[in-house]
């Protein structure tokens, strides 16, 4: 794939957040306070998640494990060196160090940084004009496209917003179900606990009868 002339992502004074480890030295002053204020969400290296992921806030999503599904995020997604995403990615920013394996999928982001350790196979990659940073050593197999900043953001919002609204509705429905089920669970537990002493008493009575029978038989000899 021929990579067009590219320029660094965003502003030149943009620093990587401190939690990215090897780039900690590049963090801004008071970076620790900023990191605490925007604590990222992590998918651990040992985790494999199946299904679409919708992040309902703008905290960074850091993927070190495996995601089998699409990612919808109004903020920044970081795919670590051990991270694998098998699905499309729609986000404001995307930093790839690992693998994106989605030959029929799509990457649609405003700002894209492709690190030298990354391997990307996807159907299409679309970014804002001048917002692609491609590091030597990276591998990318995709149809590349660049559009004006406003058009890319509009497309991202049209895809991300409905997914986020659906996720929030499902979360609210799950919360309602959980709250409704709590009284029934407590009632069942109370009945079960009330029945336990009776069951124990019956077992003890049976054991006592069995012991008395054995004693009677022994005394017969």
Q: What is the pLDDT of residues 141-151, one digit of tens each?
A: 999 999 998 99
Per-residue confidence (pLDDT) for residue 71, from 0 to 100: 96
| 158 class by beta-carbon count within 10 Å (0-12 exposed, 13-18 middle, 19+ buried) | exposed
129: pLDDT strictly greater than 80: yes
User: Structure tokens of 161?
Assistant: 């917003």
135: pLDDT strictly greater than 80: yes
What is the reported pTM? 0.65
User: Structure tokens of 109?
Assistant: 């982001």
Between 12 and 140, the more confident residue is 140
Confidence class for position 18, pLDDT limits 50, 70, 90: very low
Per-residue confidence (pLDDT) for residue 26, from 0 to 100: 39
Q: What is the CA radius of gyration of the chain?
A: 28
Considering only 108-117, 121-130, 136-145, 169-178, which range has the smallest mean pLDDT?
169-178
Q: What is the pLDDT of residues 165-181, one digit of tens each?
A: 988 898 899 888 888 87
**Domain chopping of the chain, boundaries:** 41-175
For residues 153-172, average pLDDT: 90
């Amino acid at each position: 794939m021929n990579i067009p002339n590219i320029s660094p992502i965003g502003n030149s004074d943009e620093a990587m957040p401190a939690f990215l480890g090897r780039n900690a030295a590049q963090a801004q002053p008071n970076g620790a306070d900023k990191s605490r204020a925007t604590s990222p969400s992590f998918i651990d290296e040992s985790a494999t998640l199946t299904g679409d992921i919708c992040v309902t806030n703008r905290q960074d999503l850091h993927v070190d494990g495996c995601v089998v599904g699409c990612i919808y995020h109004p903020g920044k997604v970081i795919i670590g060196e051990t991270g694998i995403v098998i699905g499309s990615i729609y986000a404001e920013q995307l930093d790839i160090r690992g693998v994106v394996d989605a030959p029929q999928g799509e990457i649609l982001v405003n700002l894209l940084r492709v690190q030298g350790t990354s391997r990307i196979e996807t159907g299409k990659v679309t970014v804002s004009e001048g917002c692609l940073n491609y590091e030597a050593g990276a591998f990318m197999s995709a149809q590349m496209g660049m559009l004006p900043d406003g058009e890319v953001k509009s497309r991202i919002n049209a895809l991300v917003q409905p997914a986020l609204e659906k996720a929030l509705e499902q979360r609210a429905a799950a919360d309602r179900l959980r709250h409704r089920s709590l009284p029934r669970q407590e009632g069942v537990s109370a009945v079960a606990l009330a029945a336990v002493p009776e069951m124990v008493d019956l077992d003890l009575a049976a054991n006592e009868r069995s012991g008395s029978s054995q004693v009677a038989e022994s005394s017969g000899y």
